[in-house]
Amino acid sequence: MFEGMYAGAEAGGAKPPWDYGAPRPQLVAWAEAQNLAGGGREALVVGCGYGADAEYLASLGYRTTGFDFAPTAIAAARRKYPASEVKCLVADVLDLPGEWQRRFDLVVESLTVQSMPPEQHTEAAQKIGSLVAPEGTLLVLATTRDEGSEVKGPPWPLSRVELEDFAHGDLILRRVERIEGGAWWRAELSRGEAHSTNHAGGS
């Protein structure tokens, strides 16, 4: 489905509905609120699409990797930012490289899990959480679904309980906000004792 939508867009069709065309405002607002600065640490963008969020994190000083399931999206990102230092790779969230385990100081997941069938949500969330380094941060951005409500996706927005799926092992859910008039979740998780804003670049 994802490859088909990106291929259609490249052929002149409608752009994928999740493509904002710029860094996602919910990410930018979070980063600006805590004066986020990478300082050469590593960041990963899950389901990076055309690469705008990854480029944004790179501009803040992170050594950034972005991956997407759709080869067409990755090829387009490389064309769009030919001089970029971001590593753009094709990868499957359910079958990620072993060397990525507990590697990244900041992991950003925006709308990827909810684009997958509900029976894959828990596995995908745990796979994403496993990428966070010791004292690292995971930022989850997703649209909201009330408990017990039926959704005919895609997408399948996340319930509050599903946010808990990211908190696997020693990764702790530190903060959950319902933003954009209640339409979006913004959740912060971290591994280790320090509060997430400290090792994500805040004061």
Contact predicate 61/85, CB 8 Å: no
As averages over each run of 10 residues, the pLDDT of the chain (203 residues) reads: 64 68 94 97 96 98 97 93 96 97 98 95 98 97 92 92 95 97 97 52 34
Domains of the chain by residue range:
22-200
Q: Count of CB atoms within 10 A of residue 4's CB?
A: 12
User: Which pLDDT score is estimated for 123?
Assistant: 98
SS3 for the chain, per residue? CHHHHHHHHHCCCCCCCCCCCCCCHHHHHHHHHCCCCCCCCEEEEECCCCCHHHHHHHHCCCEEEEEECCHHHHHHHHHHCCCCCCEEEECECCECCHHHCCCEEEEEEECCHHHCCHHHHHHHHHHHHCCEEEEEEEEEEEEECCCCCCCCCCCCCECHHHHHHHCCCCEEEEEEEEECCCCEEEEEEEECCCCHHHHHCCC
pTM of the model: 0.89
Q: Tell me the C-alpha to C-alpha distance, in Å, between residue 111 and each of 61, 108, 184.
A: 24, 10, 10
User: Which pLDDT score is estimated for 150?
Assistant: 85
Region for residue 103 given its phi and psi (left: phi exceeds 0; alpha: psi -120 to 50; beta: otherwise):
alpha
Q: Count of CB atoms within 10 A of residue 178's CB?
A: 13
- Quick one: fold of 22-200? Rossmann fold (3.40.50)
User: Which pLDDT score is estimated for 85?
Assistant: 96
